[in-house]
Chains A and B, each alone.
Chain A
């Protein structure tokens, strides 16, 4: 169990570092890094604070703590993915509306140019 918690500590630390580097290099926008950092910090706190972790496992009614750890990891990242699904859907809606508006404006611009050409060269 101790080794598993050490692995979790290392994993959480690497995840935090990775996210911070990505934000610094502008690969991830700050607002999207918040979900990942929150998830990684929750895992880091649980892996470092054994009493808190065992208390949580007991609260969940799980006798074998590694299972509790896996479940917690699963739920934390499920929340992260759910948040991203909402963001992606929202961005897709915006993208479609934007593409349609570009097409409409481009069409109207082209039509008015053609009208102008016709009136200039009847």
Chain B
């Protein structure tokens, strides 16, 4: 992948861990939706053929030397995108849940909204139609907690279908939450007084593989994210931070 030129400012990042059954199709769909836009799959040290399948589909592949989890994986992509000079990055999950047909909508909002971050949201239009009761409870809880912190309502704080501009890219390449990064990332941006916008996007069921958030992990997820949110509010940004 070449450094970004003026006509080549958007990069699609696809984090993938053991997604050989879905990632090839996701890459092809992104190519159809955004022809000519570079695609980088970040392989989080998968045990299957994720890297090979993505490469065969025509994406660039950056393989991590060992498993870092979603946050570490995404930050590696943000760092590379920032160093190569990209102005916009849109994350599309490698499991096929994010419909690449919505990428132009997110990109357009990034270009026109003057926001540093645009979230593809399931619930802007279909509020209350949660895919499961546990998810519904979690999302309502996080909305209540985030509202005073962010100063505005966020409909889908757990969505990973996110686009960022270069200002947010600079922040995320230096500091990005490690586990379950979506909600904490909103707080990280809020600390910089950045703005975000949600655009309605339908999500699909994952094609293959296992979700990073299983039912058993839901309670751990809620506690972890709550702690992460409050730690991010209090975080000391001194000389030790990278």
Please report A residues at the B interface, Cβ cutoff 8 Å: 93, 96-97, 99-100, 102-104, 106-107, 111
**Minimal beta-carbon separation of B51 from chain A (angstroms):** 11
Interface presence of B64 (CB below 8 A): yes
B2, B64, B242 interface centre (most CB from chain A within 10 Å): B64
**Minimal beta-carbon separation of A83 from chain B (angstroms):** 16
Q: Which residues of B contact A107 (CB under 8 A)?
A: 1, 60-63, 80
Q: Which residues of B contact A106 (CB under 8 A)?
A: 62-63, 65
Known: A104-B80, A104-B83, A111-B60. A96 touches B65 (CB 8 A): no
Q: Is the CB of A104 within 8 A of B76?
A: yes
Known: A99-B66, A103-B65. A93 touches B242 (CB 8 A): yes
Q: Which residues of A contact B61 (CB under 8 A)?
A: 107
**Minimal beta-carbon separation of A111 from chain B (angstroms):** 6
Q: Is the CB of A103 within 8 A of B76?
A: yes
Known: A111-B1, A111-B60. A99 touches B68 (CB 8 A): yes
Q: Which residues of A contact B1 (CB under 8 A)?
A: 107, 111
Q: Is the CB of B72 within 8 A of A99?
A: yes
Q: Which residues of B contact A100 (CB under 8 A)?
A: 64, 68, 72, 75-76, 79
Q: Which residues of B contact A111 (CB under 8 A)?
A: 1-2, 60
A-B contact count (CB 8 A): 42
Q: Which residues of A contact B60 (CB under 8 A)?
A: 107, 111
Q: Which residues of B contact A93 (CB under 8 A)?
A: 242
Interface presence of B170 (CB below 8 A): no
Q: Which residues of B contact A102 (CB under 8 A)?
A: 65
CB neighbors of A among B3-45 (8 A): 42
Interface presence of B178 (CB below 8 A): yes
Q: Which residues of A contact B2 (CB under 8 A)?
A: 111
Q: Which residues of A contact B68 (CB under 8 A)?
A: 96, 99-100
A19 to B64, CA, bound (A): 36
- Within the complex, which residue of B63, B83, B178, B242 is in contact with A103, where a contact is CB–CB below 8 Å? B63
CB<8 Å pairs between A and B, sample of 29: A93-B242, A96-B68, A96-B72, A96-B75, A96-B178, A97-B242, A99-B64, A99-B76, A100-B64, A100-B68, A100-B72, A100-B76, A102-B65, A103-B42, A103-B62, A103-B63, A103-B64, A103-B65, A103-B76, A104-B62, A104-B80, A106-B62, A106-B63, A106-B65, A107-B1, A107-B61, A107-B63, A111-B1, A111-B2
Q: Is the CB of B65 within 8 A of A99?
A: yes
Q: Which residues of A contact B72 (CB under 8 A)?
A: 96, 99-100
B62, B66, B75 interface centre (most CB from chain A within 10 Å): B62
Q: Which residue on chain A has the smallest CB distance to residue B43? A: A103
Q: Which residue on chain A has the smallest CB distance to residue B42? A: A103
Q: Which residue on chain B has the smallest CB distance to residue A98? A: B65
A100 to B1, CA, bound (A): 17
**Minimal beta-carbon separation of A26 from chain B (angstroms):** 24
Q: Map CB proximity to A onto B74-89 as digits: 1 under 8 Å, 0 otherwise.
A: 0110011001000000
**Minimal beta-carbon separation of A89 from chain B (angstroms):** 11
Q: Assuming A103-B63, A104-B80, A111-B2, what are 17 further A-B pairs, CB within 8 angstroms?
A: A93-B242, A96-B75, A97-B242, A99-B66, A99-B68, A100-B64, A103-B76, A104-B79, A104-B83, A106-B62, A107-B60, A107-B61, A107-B62, A107-B63, A107-B80, A111-B1, A111-B60
